[in-house]
Amino acid sequence: MFNAQLTAEAKAKLKALAQVEHTYAYSLLENAFWQLWDRLPEDKRRAAEIVAQLTGETPTEEDS
């Protein structure tokens, strides 16, 4: 589980958008994250992947 801290305005707009889109707010957050991830320069993406591996945050095949 992951908790995101948002400003009151961002939280209200996220909840409203989730209602309009007929989806869950966490789905919108994940989608936005992957869009950001895809736009990252390769060096930053690789650095983040290394940190995730070192901290044990990368899921294993058993987690999939």
The Cα 31–Cα 33 span in angstroms is 5
Number of alpha carbons in the 13 Å side-chain half-sphere of residue 10: 6
Q: Residue 3: its pLDDT value, please?
A: 80
Please check whether residue 45 is in contact with residue 33, taking contact to mean a CB–CB distance below 8 angstroms.
Answer: no
The yes-or-no verdict on residue 61 having pLDDT over 60 is no
Q: Residue 12: its pLDDT value, please?
A: 95
**Which of 25 and 64 is assigned the larger pLDDT?**
25
- pLDDT tens digit sequence for 1-53: 668 899 999 999 999 999 999 999 999 999 999 999 999 999 999 999 999 99
**Which of 58 and 13 is assigned the larger pLDDT?**
13
